[in-house]
Chains A and B, each alone.
Chain A
């Protein structure tokens, strides 16, 4: 299957871009990264949504 190899190539490149580049360098989970506990996260969001 000549198309199979091409397809696997595309899948692997796509997954590499998504998980090894975009996820790590561009898409951190902001609340998990900036706060240690759920209490701190909820405080932050409460602050955000009540001080518009």
Chain B
């Protein structure tokens, strides 16, 4: 099966999408977090009337504006790619993606773009209160924009609230609320925005540390730091809480991703959590249990506890999921592949019956797609059918990449929280800035939240491979059959364009930071 699918085409298309999404995500989290920090600073200015707070607000608003201006619309490219490179997928999910993205366009984006103009150009032109309201509405608008795209992404991770229409090959929404309030969607949104708030806090703390190291704009830097560290501590705890909930949801909803995140090959009760580890370089995407670590430090029972809130919970490993585990009620991938192939064949016969005008067969086959038992037994495994005759390892995500990305994200997240706590503690005692080495730690932390944030998305997206829509549509059936050369060309165009934008962002940001809050 699937001989006609060219894996180099699939890989280039995936690479192109990943490149675009990762560049887009350089700009977005700073916009989400900094918008609220600016709104808080603006509020302090309006309430206190202190001109020093006005300077502070204007400086961070300027950096927010640079980031927003350079990053805005980079996400549109992803929508271009859906139509060109992922046309089967776009058709398959069309109605589900359509509704959330339309709401994003109409409500959130207009809210954000309308009030952002007032926020930037409203100084001394509109009333102080209206101006402040514009800052808050910009922050809410930016974060509201994120809701809808994350809802769409969550549906791909857990397709709920929909029914597949075999006559049109499209998924149709049956319950809007199930789609937007699925546990994956709610938690994905909360984890994404809180981690973005944390990223922005670290950004403000780090830039302020640079001013303190140079003994410039000390009042500005200390006041900025205290707002950012309060925001950072709250966001840090919220990120860890939502991250923990997220891990629990992933363990139940996408057990293969969870097993890959922990490089757990053999399932076990009292499963330990790998706190730190180094995997062997020759580890491959094989389901066979073997020793894959050069070294690891484990926390006993912690993985079972994390998932089931009891140390005796059984956490399935990669081999349990691939080969099945009757005792634990896990179907083998071979069985799922057989059932998925039946579902694909049924859909194929349905289309043939329609083409030849065989109404009786057509009606009988159509009934299957309305039968809840058949849907549960066969259609649920639809995507596995594409792997008939292929190697089982293709159904296993890249374990090393997931393991390292997950652990880097968690370790860095803890670092950001501890840093925010120390900075807040010292700021409250008016001793932040006394220890030069701590300022250097804060400054050198600057790029790390972006690394953590990108790692989070690598876990989310690479960990669910090979699925585009979980267990229903793999990447290899979602892709448009284009010439790989055409995809490679756009890949390089994007690389050059986005690199230029990234360099522009860094240069303009640095020049404005160097000028300080008094700069033009």
| A residues with CB within 8 A of B | 1-3, 6-7, 10-11, 14-15, 17-18, 22-23, 26-32, 38, 41-43, 45-52
Contact residues in A for B420 (Cβ distance below 8 Å):
none
B80 engages A10 (CB within 8 Å): no
Q: How far is the CA of A14 from the CA of B97 in the complex (A)?
A: 26
Q: For residue A11, which residue of chain B has the nearest CB?
A: B69
B88 interfacial contact with A, CB 8 Å = yes
A3 engages B84 (CB within 8 Å): no
Interchain Cβ contacts under 8 Å between A and B, 26 examples: A3-B512, A7-B65, A7-B66, A7-B70, A10-B501, A10-B504, A11-B72, A15-B73, A18-B76, A22-B493, A26-B486, A28-B84, A29-B87, A30-B87, A30-B482, A31-B87, A31-B91, A41-B91, A45-B91, A48-B477, A49-B92, A49-B169, A49-B344, A49-B473, A50-B347, A52-B2
Choose from A3, A23, A32 the contact partner of B508 (Cβ within 8 Å).
A3
Instruction: Return B38 CB to nearest CB of chain A, in Å.
Output: 17
Q: How far is the CA of A30 from the CA of B62 in the complex (A)?
A: 40
Contact residues in B for A15 (Cβ distance below 8 Å):
73
B281 interfacial contact with A, CB 8 Å = no
Instruction: Return B345 CB to nearest CB of chain A, in Å.
Output: 8
Known pairs A3-B66, A22-B493; A48 contacts B88 (CB<8 A): yes
Q: Is the interface of B mostly helix, strand, loop or mixed?
A: helix
Choose from A7, A17, A27, A52 the contact partner of B69 (Cβ within 8 Å).
A7
B347 engages A42 (CB within 8 Å): no
B344 engages A50 (CB within 8 Å): yes
Binary interface profile of B, 469-488, with partner A (CB < 8 Å = 1, else 0)?
00001001100111000100
Q: What number of A-B contacts does a CB cutoff of 8 Å give?
A: 102
Contact residues in A for B345 (Cβ distance below 8 Å):
50
Q: How far is the CA of A29 from the CA of B482 in the complex (A)?
A: 12
Contact residues in A for B477 (Cβ distance below 8 Å):
48-49, 52
B92 engages A46 (CB within 8 Å): no
A14 engages B92 (CB within 8 Å): no
Q: How far is the CA of A48 from the CA of B520 in the complex (A)?
A: 57
Contact residues in B for A49 (Cβ distance below 8 Å):
88, 92, 169, 344, 347, 473, 477
Contact residues in B for A2 (Cβ distance below 8 Å):
520
Instruction: Return A3 CB to nearest CB of chain B, in Å.
Output: 6
Task: List 14 additional contacts besides A38-B168, A43-B351; criterion CB under 8 Å.
Answer: A3-B508, A7-B65, A7-B508, A14-B70, A15-B73, A18-B76, A18-B77, A22-B77, A26-B493, A27-B83, A42-B167, A45-B88, A52-B344, A52-B386
Binary interface profile of B, 51-76, with partner A (CB < 8 Å = 1, else 0)?
00000000000100110011011001
B508 engages A17 (CB within 8 Å): no
Q: How far is the CA of A14 from the CA of B481 in the complex (A)?
A: 28
Contact residues in B for A42 (Cβ distance below 8 Å):
91, 167-170
Contact residues in B for A50 (Cβ distance below 8 Å):
344-345, 347-348, 351
Known pairs A10-B501, A49-B477; A27 contacts B344 (CB<8 A): no
Instruction: Return A51 CB to nearest CB of chain B, in Å.
Output: 7
Contact residues in B for A45 (Cβ distance below 8 Å):
87-88, 91-92, 169
Q: How far is the CA of A24 from the CA of B153 in the complex (A)?
A: 26
CB contacts under 8 Å to A, within B83-102, are 83-84, 87-88, 90-92
Q: How far is the CA of A43 from the CA of B167 in the complex (A)?
A: 9
Contact residues in B for A26 (Cβ distance below 8 Å):
84, 486, 489-490, 493
B81 interfacial contact with A, CB 8 Å = yes
Contact residues in A for B127 (Cβ distance below 8 Å):
none
B497 interfacial contact with A, CB 8 Å = yes
Contact residues in B for A14 (Cβ distance below 8 Å):
70, 73, 497, 501
Give the 9 A-B residue pairs with the shortest CB-CB distance, closest first: A27-B80, A29-B83, A50-B348, A30-B87, A52-B2, A42-B168, A45-B91, A27-B84, A45-B169
Q: How far is the CA of A26 from the CA of B167 in the complex (A)?
A: 31
Q: For residue A29, which residue of chain B has the nearest CB?
A: B83
